[in-house]
Structure 1
């Protein structure tokens, strides 16, 4: 198998606040105060949506550039909800300040349905865990 990404996380001793290293970037994660956290960083599901939003914007920008389309100021708004059966649903709304045709929008919606992160979230991934050596 070839590595796609690598992330590590370390506790801080401050309830749910943790430091993440993703590639060479430093991020923090926490839970909202109503869930016992300090609310000083995005919660795990915030990062879940953010990764999908990032892949959405980057993929569509690449596609538009390839086609010679001007997306201008582009925005993707994502919302994560849970239905009565407990299933998660992500709704994504795309916006641009450029006058794109109905055909262009239809193609962008087809492309966004198949971004790499969209596929990974929709199809799932095999997740394994193992015990490591002491720190």
Structure 2
């Protein structure tokens, strides 16, 4: 089984601000003030949607380049809602400042339905947890 990604997270002395290390990139996460956080960084569901937005934009850019299509400035706007039964729903709106044909848009919508992160979110992942010894840094 090959590793796809690895991250670590460390608490701070501020509720609920945490520091994430993803490879050699550092970023923060927090909760909004309404949930007891400081609102100092994206909340976990913001990061969840951000990963899908990033995969959407990168995958479509790669595909368009292979087809020699000019996407120009590309935008993807995503929203996450929860229905009455508690099920999550994600909606994406894709935009380009270039005059793409209906055929091109239809193909892009087919491609976006199968990006790696789209598939992972749709199919789910097996999640396991274990206790580890604390190692002071």
TM-score (norm 2): 0.98
**How many equivalent residue pairs?**
135
Report the Cα distance in structure 1 between the residues aligned to 2:134 and 2:46, rounded to whole angstroms: 30
**Aligned match of 1:77:** 77
Q: SS in structure 2 opposite 1:99? A: coil
Structure 1 unaligned runs (5+)? Answer: none
Structure 2 partner of 1:94: 94
> Runs of 5+ in structure 2 lacking a partner?
none
Once the two structures are TM-superposed, the CA of residue 134 in structure 1 deviates from its matched residue by 2.1
1:36 is the counterpart of 2:36: yes
> Residue in 2 aligned with 1:55?
55
CA offsets per residue over residues 81-114 of structure 1, 9 Å max, x none?
0000000000000000000000000000000000
1:16 — aligned with what? 16
CA distance in 2, matches of 1:24, 1:5: 12
Q: What is the Cα deviation at residue 34 of structure 1?
A: 0.5
Q: CA deviation at 1:21?
A: 0.2
Secondary structure of 2:107 counterpart = helix
Distance (Å, rounded) in 1 between the aligned partners of 2:52 and 2:67: 22
Question: Which runs of at least 4 in structure 1 moved beyond 6 Å after TM superposition?
Answer: none
Return the TM-score normalized by structure 1. Answer: 0.99
Q: Which residue of 1 aligns with 2:134?
A: 134
Deviations 1:32-75 (A, max 9, x none): 00000000000000000000000000000000000000000000
* Cα RMSD (Å): 0.4
**Inter-partner Cα distance in structure 2 for 1:86 and 1:118:** 20
Matching of residue 114 in structure 1 with residue 114 in structure 2: yes
For 1:134 and 1:46, the matched residues in 2 are separated by 28
In 2, the alpha carbon distance for the partners of 1:97 and 1:15 equals 41
